[in-house]
Amino acid sequence: MNGMDTLLIARGTKEVHLLPRMANRHGLIAGATGTGKTVSLRVLAEGFSDMGVPVFLSDVKGDLTGVAVPGGGNKKIEERIAALGLEGFQYEGYPVVFWDVFGERGHPVRTTVSEMGPLLLSRILNLNDTQSGVLSLVFRIADDNGLLLLDLKDLRAMAAFVGDNADRFKVEYGNVSRASVGAIQRNLLVLEEQGGDRFFGEPALSMEDLLQTDSRGRGTINILLADRLIRSPKVYATFLLWLLSELFEMLPEVGDPPKPKMVFFFDEAHLLFEDVSSALEEKIEQVVRLIRSKGVGVYFVTQNPLDLADPVLGQLGNRVQHALRAFTPRDQRAVRAAAETFRPNPAVNVTEAITELAVGEALLSMLDGKGAPEPVERAFVLPPRSSLTPLSPEEIRAIVRDSVLHGFYEKTVDRESAYEKLKERAEATARQEAEEAASRARAKEPKRDLFSAAAKSAAHAIGSQIGRQIIRGILGSFFGGKK
Ligand SMILES: Nc1ncnc2c1ncn2[C@@H]1O[C@H](COP(=O)(O)OP(=O)(O)OP(=O)(O)O)[C@@H](O)[C@H]1O
Ligand SMILES: [Mg+2]
pLDDT at 303: 94
Asked whether residue 223 falls in the same domain as residue 269, the answer is: yes
What percentage of the chain carries pLDDT values higher than 70? 91
- CA nearest ligand 1 atom 31, residue: 76
Atom of ligand 1 nearest to the CA of 43: 1
Does any domain span residue 466? yes
pLDDT at 349: 94
Task: Find the 342 Cα to ligand 2 centroid distance in Å.
Answer: 23
Does any domain span residue 1? no
Asked whether residue 453 falls in the same domain as residue 469, the answer is: yes
Does any domain span residue 102? yes
What would the pLDDT profile of 98-125 be if each residue is shown by its tens digit? 999 999 999 999 999 999 999 889 988 9
Task: Find the 381 Cα to ligand 1 centroid distance in Å.
Answer: 10
Asked whether residue 83 falls in the same domain as residue 117, the answer is: no
Asked whether residue 99 falls in the same domain as residue 75, the answer is: yes
Task: Find the 29 Cα to ligand 2 centroid distance in Å.
Answer: 10
- Rounded to an integer, what distance in angstroms lies between the CA atom of residue 261 and that of residue 268? 23
Asked whether residue 136 falls in the same domain as residue 214, the answer is: no
Atom of ligand 1 nearest to the CA of 388: 29
Does any domain span residue 411? no
Does any domain span residue 412? no
Atom of ligand 1 nearest to the CA of 74: 31
- CA nearest ligand 1 atom 3, residue: 383
Domain boundary among 402, 426, 453: 402
Mean of the pLDDT values across residues 345-355?
A: 95
What would the pLDDT profile of 404-443 be if each residue is shown by its tens digit? 888 888 888 888 889 999 988 888 988 888 888 888 888 7
165 CB-near residues (< 8 Å, 6+ apart) = 453, 454, 457
Asked whether residue 370 falls in the same domain as residue 258, the answer is: yes
Asked whether residue 214 falls in the same domain as residue 105, the answer is: yes
Mean of the pLDDT values across residues 325-329?
A: 91
Atom of ligand 1 nearest to the CA of 42: 18
What would the pLDDT profile of 450-470 be if each residue is shown by its tens digit? 444 444 444 444 444 333 333
pLDDT at 278: 84
What would the pLDDT profile of 367-377 be if each residue is shown by its tens digit? 999 999 999 99
Which among 381, 388, 387 is positioned nearest to 29, based on CA atoms?
A: 381
Starting from the CA of residue 387, give the closest ligand.
1
Asked whether residue 332 falls in the same domain as residue 269, the answer is: yes
Domain of 281 in residue numbering reads as 7-110+205-402
Task: Find the 35 Cα to ligand 1 centroid distance in Å.
Answer: 6
In this predicted structure, the answer to whether residue 1 has a pLDDT above a threshold of 80 is no
CATH number at residue 331: 3.40.50.300
Q: Give the mean pLDDT of the chain.
A: 88
What would the pLDDT profile of 209-241 be if each residue is shown by its tens digit? 999 999 999 999 999 999 999 998 888 888 899
Asked whether residue 216 falls in the same domain as residue 247, the answer is: yes
Atom of ligand 1 nearest to the CA of 380: 1
- CA nearest ligand 1 atom 29, residue: 388
Mean of the pLDDT values across residues 157-174?
A: 92
- CA nearest ligand 1 atom 15, residue: 36
What would the pLDDT profile of 239-272 be if each residue is shown by its tens digit? 899 999 999 999 999 988 999 999 999 999 999 8
Asked whether residue 185 falls in the same domain as residue 224, the answer is: no
Tell me the best of 39, 41, 74 to mutate to test the pocket of ligand 1, counting ligand atoms within 8 Å of each CB and taking the most: 39
- Ion ligand 2 neighbours (CB, 5 A) are 37-38
Measured from CB, residues less than 6 Å from any atom of ligand 1 are 31, 33-39, 61, 76-77, 80, 359-360, 381, 383, 388
Mean of the pLDDT values across residues 56-69?
A: 96
- CA nearest ligand 1 atom 16, residue: 36
Overall number of domains in the chain: 3
Domain boundary among 176, 198, 220: 198
Mean of the pLDDT values across residues 145-152?
A: 93
Domain boundary among 378, 402, 426: 402
Does any domain span residue 59? yes
pLDDT band at 280 (very low <50, low <70, confident <90, very high): confident
In this predicted structure, the answer to whether residue 364 has a pLDDT above a threshold of 60 is yes
What would the pLDDT profile of 20-50 be if each residue is shown by its tens digit? 999 999 999 999 999 999 999 999 999 999 9
**CB 150, CB 112: distance < 8 Å:** yes
Atom of ligand 1 nearest to the CA of 35: 21
Asked whether residue 127 falls in the same domain as residue 188, the answer is: yes
Does any domain span residue 2? no
Atom of ligand 1 nearest to the CA of 360: 8
Asked whether residue 393 falls in the same domain as residue 426, the answer is: no
Task: Find the 57 Cα to ligand 1 centroid distance in Å.
Answer: 16
Q: Which residue has the higher pLDDT, 466 or 326?
A: 326
Mean of the pLDDT values across residues 315-323?
A: 97
pLDDT at 445: 55
Starting from the CA of residue 323, give the closest ligand.
1
Does any domain span residue 371? yes
**CB 377, CB 364: distance < 8 Å:** yes
- Rounded to an integer, what distance in angstroms lies between the CA atom of residue 115 and that of residue 246? 9
